[in-house]
Amino acid sequence: MKSRPASGIVDLAPTSSGWGVYARSLGNFWKVYRGSRFGVLGLAMLCFFVVEACVASSLAPYPPNQVSQDVLRPPSPMHLLGTNEVGQDILSQVLIGSQASLMVGFAASAISALVGSLVGLIAGYYGGLRDDALMRLTDIFLVIPALPLMVVLAAVIGPSLFSVILAIGVVGWTGTARVVRSQTLSVKELAFIESSRASGGSDFYILFNHVLPNVAPVIFSNTVLVIANAVLSEAVLTFLGLGNPNMISWGQMLQFAFTSGSVTSAWWYVVPPGLSIMLVVLAFSLTGYSLDEVFNPRVRKI
Amino acid sequence: MDTEYVVKKVAQTLATIFFVLTFNFFLFRILPGNPFALLFRGPGFSREAVNLLNAQFGLDQPVWVQYIRYLENTAKGNLGLSYTTRAPVANMLFPRLMNSLVLLLTANVISIVIGIVLGIVSAWRRGGRTDLTLSASTLLLYSMPTFWLGLVLLFAGVVYFGLPVAGMTTLGANLTNWFDYVGDLLRHMVLPGLTLVLGLVGQYVLVMKGALLDVFTEDYMITARAKGISTQKLLWNHAMRNATLPIITLIAINLGLTVGGAIQTETVFSWPGIGLLTYQALLQRDYPMLQGCFLVIAIAVILANFVADLTYGYLDPRVRTG
C-alpha cells in the first residue's frame, strides 16, 4: 500500500519496560493517528457500525423475520428499502445483518491472531528447527488457495455460524505469523533481552514481558486488516450456502436473493446488503492501514 | 538455473501436494456420519453384507493401510464416485477445469495488461489526480465481495444490455458454424469476464505501482536520468525490466485469490467450470465430488506457483546463483 507519512512521531523504539509503556503512550498514539484523514474516517465508520449492530433490534422498523403479503415491493414509505420474496422488510434485515458480520469478523480474526502470533513468536524467538518447521507449514498454507480450503472445512463441519468462524480463522493466520516472526526476529536481538536472560529470565518470561509488548502493536494493526478479510470471507461462505440459514446476515440475504431468482427483478434486495459489506470492509481496511502506518516501522519508513 | 534452487522448489511443491492429499484424506474421514456408513444404512443391508462391503472397500483395514490405498488410487486418477451421478468424479473434473481455464486465463490476461498500464500511470504521476482516483477505486473494488459485483452486473446485464447471464453457450442453439460458436461463447463471457477483471485488476495495479515505485528510488534511475535518457526509455529499459520480477511473484501469490474469485463468478453466472461444480457439490452434499474439486483446484494452484518460482529463478540471477 501507498503510505502517507504520519504527521508526528510516536516513540516506538522497542523498550524493555514491557506492558507499562502502553498506558503512557496512548495519548501520544492518538496525536499521530489523528493525522491520517482516512484513518479517522475508517475509525468513525467502524464506530458507527459497531453502535448500529448493538442497537439494531430497536432501530429495525419491523421484526426482521416477520413475513407479509407485500412480496418483493420496491422501496416505499412503508418499507424504506422494500421487501424480499417472502415479504420481509429489507431495511430491518440489513440492520440486524451487521451483527453476524461483525461477530464472525471479530471471532474469526481472534483465532487467526492467536494462531498467527503463537506461530510467529515461537518461530522467531527460538529459531532453528522450530522456525524451519513452522515457516514451511506457513508456506504450505500460503500456497493452498484460501477460499476452496475454507469451503471444504466449513462443509465438513456442517453449515453453521461456528463452522464459518472456524474455517475463516484457521485459514487466515499466515500473514500474521510472517509479520510477527519478522518483528520478533529484530526484537530478540536487542540488548535488554540479553540482559533479561542474563539476570535469569525464563524464555516464557522474556517472551511474554519483553518480546510480546514490543510485537503487540504490529499484531494489533495486522489483526484489524485480517478482520476486513474475515468479513468478506463470511459473506462469500454464507452466500455459497455454508452459513446458518436461520440467521440473518448480509451474505445470507444475498444467497436468498440469488436462489429465489429475485436478482434480476429487485435491485433493492441486492444493493443494500452488498453496500453494507463493502462499507464495513472499507472501514476495517482504512483503520488497519492507518494503524499499520503508525505501528509498523517497515511500512512507515517508505 | 542453479540445480539446488530447482531441487528445493521441487521438494517444496511435492511437500505441499502431499500435505493437501493427507489433509483431504483425514478431513473427509472425520465427517459426521462417515459417508460409507451412510451408504450402507439401508434396510436391505444385512450385517454380513455390510461386513463384506467394508472388506471390499478396505474399511476394515487400519487407517494407515487405507491412507496408502487412498494415495495409490489418487495417483492412478481414481477419485471415487459422485454421490449424485454415480459417475467417476475424475471424469467430470477435467472438462470442467478446462471451462474454468478459458474464463480465468482470459480474465487474468486482460487484468494483468490493464493493471500494468494503470500501474505505470499511477506510479509515474504519483499523488496526481489519476493516481488518487485509481487508488480510491482499487480500495472500493477490493472491499466488494466478488459475487456481489457479479450479482450487480447480472442485474445490469439482463435489464439494460440483454446479455446472456448463464452458461457458456446458448442452450439448444444450433451452433454448427465455428464462427457462430466463438461469437456465442464470447457473448456469454462478457459478464463473468468483466466481474473477474474488476475483481482482479485492482490487485495488479497495486502490485505494478509498488514494484515501479521501488525501482524509481534506485540509484541507477537517477544516474540514467542524469545521463539525459528519454522518459520512455527510462520507463521501459530501466524501470520495467527491473519491476518484472516482483510482478511475477505477486501474480503467482495472487493465483489463489483468483481461484476464489472464479468460484464466486462461476456460481453467479452458472459458468460450467470447476467453481460451479464445487458449488453444486456443496448444495448436494456430494462429498467425493467436493473432495475431488478441492484436490484439483489446490494442485493446479500449487503447480502454477511452482512454474512462477522457476520463471523467477530463471529471470533473477541472484536467485540462480544462490
Query: Do the domain assignments include residue A284?
Result: yes
Residue of B209, B283, B305 lying closest to A143 (CB–CB): B305
Å between B32 CA and nearest CA of chain A:
8
Per-residue model confidence as pLDDT tens for chain A (302 residues): 334 444 334 445 566 667 776 766 777 778 778 888 888 999 999 999 999 888 888 887 888 887 777 777 788 888 788 887 777 888 888 999 999 999 999 999 999 999 999 999 999 999 899 999 999 899 888 888 899 999 999 988 888 889 999 999 999 999 899 999 999 998 888 888 888 888 888 888 998 888 898 888 889 989 999 999 999 999 999 999 898 888 899 999 999 999 888 888 888 889 999 999 999 999 999 999 888 888 765 554 43
Rounded Cα distance, B100 and A165, in Å: 28
Query: Do the domain assignments include residue A11?
Result: no
3-class DSSP assignment, residue A89: strand
Residues 254-313 of B with CB under 8 A from A: 255-257, 259-260, 263-264, 267-268, 278-279, 282-283, 285, 287, 290-291, 293-294, 297-298, 301-302, 305
The pLDDT score that the predictor gives to residue B45 is 65
Give chain A's domain count: 1
Query: Do the domain assignments include residue A112?
Result: yes
* Beta carbons of A139 and B12 less than 8 Å apart: yes
**ipTM for the complex?**
0.88
Å between A260 CA and nearest CA of chain B:
13
Q: What is the pTM of this model?
A: 0.87
3-class DSSP assignment, residue A78: coil
Question: Which range of residues forms the domain containing residue A260?
Answer: 34-53+91-299
Query: Do the domain assignments include residue A40?
Result: yes
Q: Which residues contact A99 (CB under 8 A, 6 or more apart)?
A: A53, A56, A249
**How many CB contacts within 8 angstroms connect chain A with chain B?**
141
CATH number for A226? 1.10.3720.10
Query: Do the domain assignments include residue A291?
Result: yes
Residue A84: burial class (beta carbons within 10 Å; 0-12, 13-18, 19+): buried
The pLDDT score that the predictor gives to residue A60 is 79
In A144-296, alpha helices (H): 146-157, 161-171, 174-187, 191-198, 203-206, 212-239, 250-259, 267-295
Rounded Cα distance, A148 and A161, in Å: 18
The pLDDT score that the predictor gives to residue B319 is 61
The pLDDT score that the predictor gives to residue A2 is 38
* Beta carbons of B298 and A149 less than 8 Å apart: yes
Range B68-72, long-range pairs (CB < 8 A, 24+ positions) = B70/B21, B70/B25, B71/B21, B71/B25
Q: Which residues contact A122 (CB under 8 A, 6 or more apart)?
A: A130, A134
- The gap between the terminal CA atoms of chain B, to the nearest Å, is 10
Rounded Cα distance, A239 and B37, in Å: 30
3-class DSSP assignment, residue A244: coil
3-class DSSP assignment, residue A60: coil
The pLDDT score that the predictor gives to residue A4 is 40
Query: Do the domain assignments include residue A22?
Result: no
The pLDDT score that the predictor gives to residue A108 is 95
Residue A10 in contact with residue A29, Cβ under 8 Å? yes
Rounded Cα distance, B22 and B141, in Å: 36
pLDDT tens digits for range A155-199: 888 888 899 999 999 999 998 999 999 999 988 888 888 888 888
Query: Do the domain assignments include residue A8?
Result: no
Residue of B135, B144, B290 lying closest to A274 (CB–CB): B144
Query: Do the domain assignments include residue A68?
Result: no
Rounded Cα distance, A236 and A277, in Å: 11
Residue B194 in contact with residue B185, Cβ under 8 Å? no
The pLDDT score that the predictor gives to residue A271 is 92
In which region does residue B285 sit, left (phi positive, over 0), alpha (psi from -120 to 50) or beta (all else)?
left
Residue A85 in contact with residue A71, Cβ under 8 Å? yes
Nearest alpha carbon to residue A147 among A222, A235, A228: A235
User: What's the grid cell of residue A72?
Assistant: 418483493
User: What's the grid cell of residue A37?
Assistant: 484523514
| CA B238 and chain centroid, separation | 32
Question: In chain B, which residues have pLDDT < 70?
Answer: 1, 30-45, 53-54, 56-59, 172-175, 317-322
Rounded Cα distance, A300 and B17, in Å: 37
Rounded Cα distance, B29 and A45, in Å: 44
In the block, which residue shows the cell 499499520?
Answer: A292
Rounded Cα distance, A49 and A43, in Å: 10
Rounded Cα distance, A288 and A281, in Å: 10
A71 residue type, one letter: V
Rounded Cα distance, B214 and A3, in Å: 13
Q: Does B75 touch chain A (CB under 8 A)?
A: no
User: What's the grid cell of residue A270?
Assistant: 441486492
Residue of B155, B285, B305 lying closest to A264 (CB–CB): B155
3-class DSSP assignment, residue B81: strand
